[in-house]
């Protein structure tokens, strides 16, 4: 064997390099044995529900100074006359004209003498510092505060505990909702073995079904975020959880179910 390699080393050496590369890819790429010796830990908070009054997105009709400036620049580019601000006082409107010329046979009335004002009685004047009826302070009523809308209450609609299938799996699976139709699947105190290409399935198969039945009728919620820790997955709106009542940690690459939980 050694003599044969010595005689054909020119192509035996490249072939050996190729075989070594294929072996490394099988070990670390396809089978991903390194994942069995490391944990992907996550710690997500409770999911955020988007239900509630959304902003209208309609801007005010009030034209601001920046808007007017932008309009002027746009009209200047188009050759249109620019809008200029004018700040002129309102003209005084003349009253009805009266003729100062007396009619024939009518004597002009003599100007009336100004009436003499009687001296004010000092006793009638209010003392300094004494509030009058017009200046009596009025008590301000506190403004009524508008009641704040109640925040949506998160409830547990279904739950289950993980059990082992092909790998040790533990923790709780919860279905959280806020009565708006939006729901999340949440894992708490979750732990399983790490592996390649793990996904979270909602399957119609029972928890004790053969492994090949879990991917017959299922809904894929996405890649498993971590093999350890709390994590959330949004459930499609309107999905019948009475039908898809099994949570399965599914290895897509090898068709193996790591662990399952029945939602009740």
**Three-state secondary structure of the chain:** CHHHHHHCHHHHHHHHHHHHHHHHHHHHHHCCHHHHHCCCEEECCCCCCCCCCCCCCCCCCCCCHHHHHHHHHHHHHCCCCCCCCCCCCCCCCCCCCCCCCCCCCCCCCCCCCCCCCCCCCCCCCCCCCCCCCCCCCCCCCCCCCCCCCCCCCCEEEEEEEEEECCCCEEEEEEEEECCCCCEEEEEEEEEECCCCCEEEEEECCCCCCCHHHCCCCEEEEEECCCCEEEEEEEECCCCCCCCCCEEEEEECCCCEEEEEEECC
**Average pLDDT of the residues in 101-108:** 52
Interatomic CA distance for residues 220 and 222, integer angstroms: 6
Q: What are phi and psi of 76, to 5 degrees?
A: -65, -35
pLDDT at 212 over 80: yes
254 lies in some domain: yes
Beta carbons within 8 Å of 172's beta carbon, 6+ residues apart: 159, 160, 161, 162, 187, 188, 189, 190, 261
64 lies in some domain: no
Residue 145: its pLDDT value, please?
A: 72
Q: Are 178 and 192 in contact (CB under 8 A)?
A: no
pLDDT at 56 over 50: no
167 lies in some domain: yes
116 lies in some domain: no
Mean pLDDT check: name the lowest of 55-59, 85-89, 112-116, 187-191: 55-59
pLDDT at 44 over 70: yes
Residue 73: its pLDDT value, please?
A: 74
Confidence of residue 27 (pLDDT cuts 50, 70, 90): very low
Interatomic CA distance for residues 202 and 9, integer angstroms: 55
22 lies in some domain: yes
Q: Are 260 and 162 in contact (CB under 8 A)?
A: yes
What CATH number should be reported for the domain holding residue 189? 2.60.40.200
Higher pLDDT, 61 or 193: 193
48 lies in some domain: no
Tell me which residue range forms the domain holding 223.
151-262
> What is the share, in percent, of the chain residues with pLDDT greater than 90?
46
183 lies in some domain: yes
Residue 248: its pLDDT value, please?
A: 99
139 lies in some domain: no
**Average pLDDT of the residues in 46-67:** 58
Residue 111, CA distances (Å) to 1, 108, 221, 256 in order: 145, 9, 100, 116
Count of other CB atoms within 10 angstroms of residue 66: 8
- What is the tally of structural domains in the chain? 2
Instruction: Label the pairing between strands 155-164 and 169-177.
Output: antiparallel
Q: What are phi and psi of 72, to 5 degrees?
A: -65, -40
pLDDT at 222 over 70: yes
pLDDT at 176 over 50: yes
> What is the share, in percent, of the chain residues with pLDDT greater than 70?
49
Interatomic CA distance for residues 141 and 138, integer angstroms: 9
């Amino acid at each position: 064997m050694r003599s044969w390699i010595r005689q054909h080393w020119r192509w035996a050496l490249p072939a050996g390099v190729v075989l070594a590369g294929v072996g490394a890819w099988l070990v670390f790429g396809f089978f991903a044995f390194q994942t069995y010796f490391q944990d992907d830990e996550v710690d997500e908070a409770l999911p955020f529900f988007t239900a509630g009054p959304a902003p209208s997105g309609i801007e005010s009709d009030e034209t601001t100074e920046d808007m007017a400036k932008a309009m002027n620049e746009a009209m200047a580019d188009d050759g249109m006359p620019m809008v200029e601000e004018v700040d002129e006082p309102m003209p005084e409107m003349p009253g009805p004209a009266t003729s100062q010329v007396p009619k024939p046979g009518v004597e002009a009335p003599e100007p009336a003498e100004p009436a003499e004002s009687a001296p004010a009685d000092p006793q009638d004047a209010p003392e300094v510092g004494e509030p009058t009826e017009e200046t009596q302070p009025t008590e301000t009523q506190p403004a009524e505060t508008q009641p704040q809308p109640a925040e949506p209450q998160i409830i547990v609609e279904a739950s289950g505990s993980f059990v082992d299938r092909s790998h040790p799996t533990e923790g709780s699976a919860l279905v959280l909702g806020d009565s708006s139709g939006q729901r999340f699947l949440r894992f708490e105190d979750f732990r399983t073995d790490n592996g390649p290409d793990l996904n979270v399935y909602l399957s119609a198969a029972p928890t004790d079904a053969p492994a090949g039945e879990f991917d017959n009728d299922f809904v894929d919620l996405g890649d498993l975020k971590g093999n350890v820790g709390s994590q959330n997955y949004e459930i499609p709106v309107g999905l019948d959880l009475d039908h898809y009542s099994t949570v399965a940690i599914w290895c897509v690459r090898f068709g193996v179910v790591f662990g399952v939980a029945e939602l009740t």
